[in-house]
Amino acid sequence: MRTAETTNTWDFGIDKEVLNINIQEQPVNNQSNVAIISYFSEILHLKKRDISIVSGLKSRDKVLMVSNISVDDLNNKIMENVE
């Protein structure tokens, strides 16, 4: 996953099997990381503790670990929200 700042609240799409996310929150005091976890917990209907950033806490490139959801359900819910 790759993040970038934008004026939109949220905007994401898939390019070459990489999920690109543009967020409004600044990468200050962990705000962007918290926003990413909150957003995914909302669209995936999971608790925030089920989603964690396992790589890239201080980078634009991040790897998320998502628990308590099947791969098929994860893919379907993400695809429902891709613009």
pLDDT in tens, 52-79: 999 988 888 888 899 999 988 988 998 8
Q: What's the rounded Cα separation, in Å, for the pair 72 and 60?
A: 26
* pLDDT tens per residue, range 32-43: 899 999 989 999
* Helix axis angle, 31-44 to 71-81, nearest 10°: 110
* pLDDT value at residue 14: 57
Which CATH number do you get for residue 50?
3.30.1200.10
Q: Which residues pair with 13 in a beta bridge?
A: 20
Asked if 29 and 35 count as a contact pair (C-beta separation under 8 A), the reply is no
Q: What's the rounded Cα separation, in Å, for the pair 7 and 28?
A: 16
- Structural tokens at position 20: 């690109």
Q: Identify the domain containing residue 18 by its residue range.
A: 2-81
Q: What domain count does the chain have?
A: 1
